[in-house]
Every structure is written in structure tokens, then in C-alpha cells.
Amino acid sequence: MTFLNLLNEDLQKKWSFPSTMPIQDQMIPALIEGKDVVAESPTGTGKTLAYLLPLLQKVDGTKKATQALIIAPSQELCMQIVEVIREWIAGTPITVVPLIGGANPQRQIEKLKKKPTIAVGTPGRLNELVNERKLKLHELTTIILDEGDQLLSRDYRVIVKSFIDGADHNRQVAVVSATITDEIELVAKRMLHDPIRLQVEVEKDLLGDSKVVHSFVKLEQRDKTEFLRKISHISGVRALAFINNLDQLLMKKSKLDFRNAPIVALHSEMKKEERKTSLDSFRKGEARVLIATDIAARGLDIKGLTHVIHVDVPYTKEQYVHRSGRTGRAGADGEVITLLAYHEEQAYHKRMRELSIKPVEKIWSNGQLIEGHAEVKPPKQKRGNNKSSGSYSKKKSESSSFGNSFKKQENKKFFSKKNRLNNKKK
């Protein structure tokens, strides 16, 4: 715990953890030295304190200026960060303000007039306040990008760059995330001043100290909603379930509500109060399963989470790591379950090979999940297509027969009428 000696007396007194985390050992000294940092470390390994403690040591609470800006992609993550900051600044002149979408902008503007020491916000709302000249970028000496891979993606890259460019010339920037791709690292290098690259191995944390079991359940695509309903009735389960598509999430939630399942949802189209109600219900244990999209659940720290469920196979290994990191935090036990339809098997096993994970197969038996093998036959698409094609041909044939029959009858009527006319002429 050598870095603790670098912190001021107040921060040392508030440190109550029995040990430090690897990313903290690497990142805190680097930030205190004033270096820009790009840090990669699995979810739940202490990244928030790794950037927060040096920041709290650097800012001056007696100075009337907003000196630090922490940017995060979701409202929930921003509020989580704010709560951690409030715990550490208690009894000091340092102040913090959340600037997130969904909240009253006028109230945020009034708080900014008081010059809070630290601002924590989402890109969209921060951009609005900057454009209205309510948030003074030139006063910023520190900028933190939490979930940096998301913030430096093409969706937010231009906005985030404008924040960095508008800050004090000698500003310090830190980018932290559970995954940093080559593209994100390249973008970060262009925006930061000669950043140092810090990395904690993903595989070690996922497979070693964190005691997380990675498993999969083979089932039909249409049975995934029913699986969520069943697992929500198991006592002691607290699961976060990820769904790739918002439309699918809404459809599943509707079906689960109809069955009165103890399940709540979290997605981008919900209002701030609705999101808060869902999270509170889940945290209190009133709901056992929280179904969510990736962006809505980014960075969420929910204590006692027993399971992460991939209702759909993640698109990338980075997505799998981000989702899975919600359970088994800081060495706790947990399980990551992937619901595997036949057409997803190839993509899933590719992800496992990329992460060097050997998952176990499980089946549903007598109201619980146990290790076993299920036989899920591939969908009979070709046979179905032939059948429908045959059916179509049959209908077409029947239609043709009907048409031919109709024509014969009309011809008979025409020729019989013609014969009668000819007889009359005779």
C-alpha cells in the first residue's frame, strides 16, 4: 500500500480497505505525478477510487471554480460516482454537482453559478450546458472519462474532444475502462498528452480471484422469456439480464408483466424517475431480475448480484467482459449464464475461445439449474421452406385446375349457344 503515503492526511484516514487493487497501485502514483493515463482493468477492480483519490488531492475546495470534470455514459453511473465522491469529501470544502439528462436543467444552471469544485455528467447534458456557456471549460484542470471506450466511440468522440480542447492548456486527462480496443487507444493518444498505458489482465480477474462460474443453457429462442420468469422465482437470486435489442426487451418485459414476474427493466427510453424506481425496487429485493440494455447498465455497481444473464450472445468479447463484470466483484462469488439458441452457438464459443474461458453447460431440472447436457435440435428451416413451397405449389395447382375448369365450362356455354343460333338460321 505504498501509494497511500502519497495521499494527504485526510484521505489516508478515510481509507478503510484491507488492501489495495492492482489498478490503484499503478494509476494513483501516475496521476499524482500529473501524467495523462489510459487505464484498462476489469469491472469491479477499484477504478473509481484509482482516479478519484488523486483528483481529490489535486483540487482546491476553497477556490471558486469548477476544476474537474468526470464524464460517464449513463445517468446511473454518474449518480454512483457522485455518491462515492460525497463520502470522500465529507468535512472538506470540496463540492460536487451531477449534470445529467432527465434532470431539471435550470436547477443545474443555478448550482453551476455556485462554482462547484467537481462536475459529474453525461455527454449530452454537458454539451448543452457548454453551448449555453453555463459550464466554463477553460477552468478545468482535470478531465476523467469513465467507461472511456464508450465515450471515445464514434457516438461521443467529437463532443468529448471539444471538452478536452476547451479545457486549460495544462489539463490532465485520464481514460479508464474495462476494455480498451486498439482503435480507442489510438484515439486517446491523439487527444491526450503523451499518455501512459496501464493494463490489468482480464483473464486473470475473470477466471482466478473473482470466483465466477461461466455457464450456458441451450434452449429455443422462444423459451428465453420463460427462463427469465422461472429464475426470477428462485429464492436468493439477484440477476442482471442483458438484451441486445430494445424492441426485444420491451416485448419480453410486457410478457413478464402479464405473468406477474418479479422483474423490472432499465433502458434509455425510460424517464429519470422510472429508472430510479426500477433500480430501487431491484436493490431492495422487491424484484429479483433486472433486464437492461448495455448503455443503461454501463458501470452499475449493485451489491450482492448473484448472476449476470446474457439473454442474447454479446456481439464482441469486450461486451461480454463489461456485462459479466457486474457479478463476482472484488473476489465475490457469482455466475454468468448465457441463454444459447442454436443459431448463437458458434458466436458464443468463439467468444469463449477469445477469452480462454471454459464454460459449463447447465439444464433446468426440478426448479433449479444443474450441470447437464440438453439436446436442442436445429430449427427445420429447409423442411419448413419446402413445405411452404409445396403448399404454395399445391394452391397454385388447385387454382390452375379451378381456372381450367372454369374456362371449359365457359367454352361449353359459348359453343352450345353458337350451335343454337346456327340451327335457327337454318
The 8 Å CB, 24+ separation contacts for 152-160 are 152/184, 152/187, 152/188, 152/191, 153/184, 156/73, 156/123, 157/187, 159/123, 159/124, 159/126, 159/127, 160/71, 160/123, 160/191
Domain tally, the chain: 2
Q: Residue 390 pLDDT > 60, yes or no? A: no
Instruction: Kindly state whether residues 52 and 171 are assigned to the same domain.
Output: yes
Alpha helices for 9-46 (secondary structure H): 9-14, 22-32
Tell me, yes or no, whether 64 lies in a domain: yes
For residues 367-388, give the mean pLDDT: 66
Split at pLDDT 50, 70, 90, the class of 23 is very high
Residue 94 has a pLDDT of 97
Instruction: Kindly state whether residues 178 and 321 are assigned to the same domain.
Output: no
Please, which residues bridge with residue 309 across strands?
241, 337
Instruction: Kindly state whether residues 147 and 212 are assigned to the same domain.
Output: no
Out of 150, 169, 200, a domain closes at 200
What is the identity of the amino acid at 322?
H
Domain that holds residue 239: 204-371
Q: Residue 143 pLDDT > 80, yes or no? A: yes
Q: Which cell numbers hold the place of 289?
A: 431480475
- Give 297-336 pLDDT, tens digit per residue: 676 778 888 999 999 999 888 889 888 888 877 667 899 9
Residue 387 has a pLDDT of 45
- DSSP-assigned letter for residue 125: H
Q: Which cell numbers hold the place of 330?
A: 472484488
Instruction: Kindly state whether residues 64 and 171 are assigned to the same domain.
Output: yes
- Give 34-49 pLDDT, tens digit per residue: 999 999 998 778 899 9
Instruction: Kindly state whether residues 151 and 258 are assigned to the same domain.
Output: no
User: For residue 76, which of 325, 296, 304, 291 has the smallest C-alpha distance?
Assistant: 296
User: For residue 17, which of 43, 45, 38 has the smallest C-alpha distance?
Assistant: 45
Tell me, yes or no, whether 382 lies in a domain: no
- Contact between residue 147 and residue 121 where contact means Cβ atoms under 8 Å apart: no
What is the identity of the amino acid at 309?
I
Tell me, yes or no, whether 219 lies in a domain: yes
Q: Which cell numbers hold the place of 350?
A: 468463439
Instruction: Kindly state whether residues 288 and 320 are assigned to the same domain.
Output: yes
> Helices H, strands E: what count in the chain?
17, 15
Q: Which cell numbers hold the place of 183?
A: 482503435
Q: Checking DSSP bridges between strand 212-218 and strand 360-365, what pairing results, if any?
A: parallel
Tell me, yes or no, whether 12 lies in a domain: yes
Instruction: Kindly state whether residues 339 and 226 are assigned to the same domain.
Output: yes
Highest mean pLDDT pick, 263-272, 305-314, 402-411: 305-314
Tell me, yes or no, whether 389 lies in a domain: no
List, edge to edge, every strand of the sheet that includes 289-292.
263-266, 289-292, 239-242, 307-310, 334-340, 212-218, 360-365, 368-371
Out of 351, 371, 391, a domain closes at 371
What gap in Å lies between CA 245 and CA 314, rounded to an integer? 11
Q: Residue 20 pLDDT > 80, yes or no? A: yes
Residue 249 has a pLDDT of 93
Instruction: Kindly state whether residues 362 and 303 are assigned to the same domain.
Output: yes
For residues 64-70, give the mean pLDDT: 97
What gap in Å lies between CA 87 and CA 52, rounded to an integer? 12
Instruction: Kindly state whether residues 266 and 184 are assigned to the same domain.
Output: no
Instruction: Kindly state whether residues 261 and 293 are assigned to the same domain.
Output: yes
Out of 171, 200, 229, a domain closes at 200
Q: Checking DSSP bridges between strand 368-371 and strand 360-365, what pairing results, if any?
A: antiparallel
User: For residue 240, which of 323, 347, 143, 154 has the smallest C-alpha distance?
Assistant: 323
Residue 393 has a pLDDT of 41
Tell me, yes or no, whether 186 lies in a domain: yes
User: For residue 76, which of 395, 343, 297, 230 has the smallest C-alpha distance?
Assistant: 297
Tell me, yes or no, whether 366 lies in a domain: yes
Q: Residue 196 pLDDT > 50, yes or no? A: yes
Instruction: Kindly state whether residues 134 and 277 are assigned to the same domain.
Output: no
Tell me, yes or no, whether 137 lies in a domain: yes
The CATH number that applies at residue 256 is: 3.40.50.300
Instruction: Kindly state whether residues 170 and 253 are assigned to the same domain.
Output: no
What gap in Å lies between CA 289 and CA 265, rounded to an integer? 8
What gap in Å lies between CA 276 and CA 261, rounded to an integer? 19
